[in-house]
Amino acid sequence: MTDLLTLKGVDSWYGRSRALWGINLTVRAGEGMGVVGRNGAGKSTLLRSIARVHSDCRGAIELNGTSLARLSADAVARMGLSFVREGAPVVGELSVVINLDLARRLARLRGQEPVPYEEVWKIFPVLATKQNLRAGLLSGGQRQMLALASAIVSRPTVLLLDEPSAGLAPEACASIFQAIRQLCDQGLAVLIAEQNRDWLDGVADRSVLLETGRLHHRAVPLS
């Protein structure tokens, strides 16, 4: 499999406080990679650094062989990286379909045709029944599905997910992680930051443990 995302010796700071220490990581095409860690371990900082939302970092970050070091978050997104932040931000005043329409524009900026709606409905059938409902009226799990669907319609090559299970009922989590596995099986590279390692079972091909900003390439159960 091809290495789509590569990190070598990545450090990150907030002012004088160091948040990440020498992170080395690869994510391959068609692979689900889990990053497990407690609150404050640095998971969000790691994803934000990759996406260039947080830019106070050093080291090499490459997307499909291209360095992201001097690029803006918008430029990185146009290159094919999508970042779904914790809390599943969607535009609550707009319908499900219009949220997806906004996301489809990014596919065209990437020089791609957006994923057809029919494919989105196959992965997230509950959204097909709520196409015209305002996103703000969806349940937490449905908003997470919409945020994930909005990311995939833009045809990313790498998808970053920050705590996709946060605050959701087990049934909603099960549906979301099943969808994530489907995306990996279709060739997408997915990096998932999660507190609950159990949700990564059967979804992530590999997982690593992040503790106080340091990465351990053998994840262990969190107690």
Q: Which residue segments constitute the domains of the chain, with CATH numbers given?
A: 3-216 (3.40.50.300)
| Mean pLDDT, residues 109-115 taken together | 92
Query: pTM of the entire structure?
Result: 0.93
The percentage of the chain sitting over the pLDDT mark of 70, rounded to a whole number, equals 96
pLDDT of 196:
87
Q: Phi and psi at residue 203, in whole multiples of 5°?
A: -110, -50
Written as six digits, the tokens of 145 are: 């599905």
| Mean pLDDT, residues 139-153 taken together | 93
How far out from the chain centre does Cα 156 lie? 10
Res 75 pLDDT > 50: yes
Written as six digits, the tokens of 46 are: 């790691």
Give the residues across from 209 on adjacent strands.
36, 216
13: confidence class by pLDDT, cuts 50, 70, 90: very high
Tell me the pairing of strands 189-194 and 66-67.
unpaired
Secondary structure in 3-state letters for the chain: CCEEEEEEEEEEEECCEEEEEEEEEEEECCCEEEEECCCCCCHHHHHHHHCCCCCCEEEEEEECCEECCCCCHHHHHHHCEEEECCCCCCCCCCEHHHHHHHHHHHHHHCCCCCCCHHHHHHHCHHHHCCCCCEHHHCCHHHHHHHHHHHHHCCCCCEEEEECCCCCCCHHHHHHHHHHHHHHHHCCCEEEEEECCHHHHCCCCCEEEEEECCEEECCCCCCC
pLDDT of 86:
83
Res 218 pLDDT > 80: no
Res 202 pLDDT > 90: no
pLDDT of 223:
41
| Mean pLDDT, residues 24-40 taken together | 95
pLDDT of 177:
92
The percentage of the chain sitting over the pLDDT mark of 90, rounded to a whole number, equals 83
pLDDT of 79:
95
Res 18 pLDDT > 60: yes
Res 28 pLDDT > 60: yes
